[in-house]
Amino acid sequence: MNEINSVDNRSPIPPVLEFRFRIDAEITEGIPIDRRASGALEFIPITGGAVAGAIGGRISSGGDWCVNRGDGTWRVEARYGITLGDGAYVDVHNVGICDESHSGEGDYFVTTPVFRTAAVDHDWLNRSVFVGHAQELPGVIRIDVFEVTLAR
């Protein structure tokens, strides 16, 4: 059966991506953790950085655990914190996939960041879904963060 829904045959309405902020996470050289024939695990320290846009602040230390799967793809999983300009703290857990088979697109990859904060003024971060368009630059991982919203 290839029907999506026999009761409602309308086409799906895609969500809208709305740019919210840019994260520039400063990184240092990766540290090998595990190497096997099928791939490798590396820890990439996050040493600082900045956030600008709908929120602004400084990145505290953290790290990115990067798994080279040996098939031209990398699975990345980063954890770090952001101290906002008003002193609020935001915890970040960001998972992504980099697929080098998309040649010609540069060093771009996609992520799904999740933000958590106890700050009432920034509670929208807890209640929203985000996607990131990331790029590796010299000494920096740049992530443009988009909120996923419903079409109005």
Write the DSSP assignment of 101-114 as a string of letters.
TSTTS-SEEEEEEE
How much is the pLDDT for 1? 46
The H or E element that residue 22 is part of is strand 16-27
Separation CA 134–CA 15 (nearest Å): 20
> What is residue 120's three-state secondary structure?
helix
Which residues in the chain show pLDDT less than 70? 1-8, 37, 101-107, 152
Separation CA 128–CA 20 (nearest Å): 11
Residue 11: how many CB atoms within 10 A of its CB? Answer: 6
How much is the pLDDT for 113? 97
How much is the pLDDT for 39? 78
The candidate with the shortest Cα–Cα distance to 58, out of 78, 87, 37, 30, is 87
* Backbone dihedral region for residue 123 (phi beyond 0: left; psi -120 to 50: alpha; all else: beta): alpha
How much is the pLDDT for 47? 96
* Backbone dihedral region for residue 8 (phi beyond 0: left; psi -120 to 50: alpha; all else: beta): beta
